[in-house]
Structure 1
Amino acid sequence: MDDKEKRFERAKETALNFLTHSMRTEEQVRKRLGDKGFVSEEADYVIAFLKEFGYIDDFEYAVSYIEYAAGKGHGARRIKDEMRRRGIDRNTIEDAFYEHENRASEFGSKVASEEERAFAEALRIVSGKEIDDKIIAKTGRRLKTLGYESGVIYSAVGKLMKMKGNGDDDFE
C-alpha cells in the first residue's frame, strides 16, 4: 500500500469515527476532514464511499433534523437557517419539509401546524400568569427567538390578546 492509499484509508477512518457519534451532513464531514489535514481529493474519495454505503445522506439528515427541531418547538425559519449552516442546500431542505409532512400523514400522526405549535408555546409561556401587555410582548419575543415567521407570531399574539380581552387572565 503506497502513501496515497494510506492517506485515503486514514481519511476514511477519520470520517467513520466522526460519524459514530451522530448523523452528519456531507459538509460537516468535509470540514472535519479538512480540519484534520486531508486535501480535497481525499475528502471527495471518502464522501463518495460514505454516500455509496449510506453512511451520509443529507436528505435523510434534514428530515430527521426537522422532526427533532419541530419537536423542540422551533419554527420553520429557524430550522431552515440551522440546516443551511450545516451545509444543506435549499432544495434538499424544501424536499425534506415536504417528505416530513408526507411521512407524518402516512403513519396517521397529526402534525401540528406552525400556528398551532406557536400558540401552544405561547400558552406554555403565559401559563399561570396574568395576561397583560408585558407578558404578551415577552411571548412575541420568545416566538421570534424560536424562529417563527412574523405572521405566525402575530396570530399567536392576537389569540392571547383576545384571551386578555375576554378576561381569561389566570389559567393553568
Structure 2
Amino acid sequence: MVPPDSLEGEEHFVKAKDAALRFLTYRARSEAEVRRRLSKKYGPAVIEQVIETLLRQNFLDDSSFAQVWRDNRELHRPRAKRMVQQELRQLGVSSDVIQDSLEGYSDESNAYDAGIKLARKLASRNFSDEELRRRISSLLQRRGFSYGMVRETVEKLCGELGADSLHRQDDAKNHEEESQPPDTKADRDAQQSKQS
C-alpha cells in the first residue's frame, strides 16, 4: 500500500478522485456506491481520502441523494414506499436517512399516479373494463403496492374512467350504426328523421 503523502500516493488520489467525479456525472450516487466503485482499483486509504474530499466539497451527500431518488421515483416511475426503501438500502443509504427522505411519502397517491398513467396510455386501445383492470392491477403489483391498495386504486380509477370508456364505446357504436347503409325504406326514414 502506498502512503497517501508520497508522490505516488498523490497520483493515486488524483486518479481515484477523477474516477469518482466521472462516476458522479451520470447521476447522483450514494457514498456506498462510490466506495464500491473505487474499491475495484484503489486501496482503503486512497478511497477514504477521496470520500472525505467529496463530502467536504458537497459532491456526496446521502440525504440529498435519497431525496433526489424519491423525487425521481414519484415523478417518473411511482412505486410503493417499501420498494423505494429497498432500493435505497441496496444503494447503501442508512436507515435513518431513508426514513427521513421518505417522510410523507404516500402510497395512495403514487399508486393512483402509476395507474392513471397506464390508463391514459391504454385509453385509445378500446380494452374491455376487465382487461383494463387486469393490466392496471398487474402494474401496481409489480411496483410493490399491497393487494388492498391495488384493489382500492383500480376501483377508484375505473370509477373515474368508467364513464369516459362507456362514452367512447357508445360513440363508436353510434358511429358504426350511422355508417352502415339503411336496409329498408323504414330504416331510411328512421335515419333521416334522426338526422333532422
Compute the TM-score of the two structures, normalised by the length of structure 2. Answer: 0.67
For 2:142, which of 123, 141, 145 is the aligned residue? 145
Answer yes or no: is the 8 Å Cα contact 1:163–1:169 preserved in 2: no
Amino acid at match of 1:134: E
Aligned residues: CA RMSD: 2.9
* Alpha-carbon separation, structure 2, partners of 1:148 and 1:88: 22
Query: Higher helix fraction: Structure 1 or Structure 2?
Result: 2
Q: Residue 184 of structure 2 corresponds to which residue in structure 1? A: none
Between the aligned residues of both structures, percent identity stands at 24
Q: Residue 16 of structure 1 corresponds to which residue in structure 2? A: 21
C-alpha spacing 1:135/1:74, structure 2 compared with 1 (3 Å): same
Gaps of 5+ in 2: 1-5, 169-196
Give the count of matched residue pairs: 160
1:9, CA displacement in angstroms? 2.5
1:80, CA displacement in angstroms? 2.4
* Alpha-carbon separation, structure 2, partners of 1:56 and 1:134: 45
Compute the TM-score of the two structures, normalised by the length of structure 1. Answer: 0.75
Q: Which structure 2 residues correspond to residues 118-157 of structure 1 after superposition, within 5 A? A: 118-121=114-117, 123-124=119-120, 126-128=122-124, 129-157=126-154
C-alpha spacing 1:54/1:99, structure 2 compared with 1 (3 Å): farther
* Alpha-carbon separation, structure 1, partners of 2:18 and 2:155: 54
* Alpha-carbon separation, structure 2, partners of 1:20 and 1:147: 30
Gaps of 5+ in 1: 102-111
* Alpha-carbon separation, structure 2, partners of 1:116 and 1:135: 14
- Which structure has the bigger radius of gyration? 2
Amino acid at match of 1:148: F
* Alpha-carbon separation, structure 2, partners of 1:19 and 1:162: 45
Runs of 4+ residues deviating >6 angstroms? none
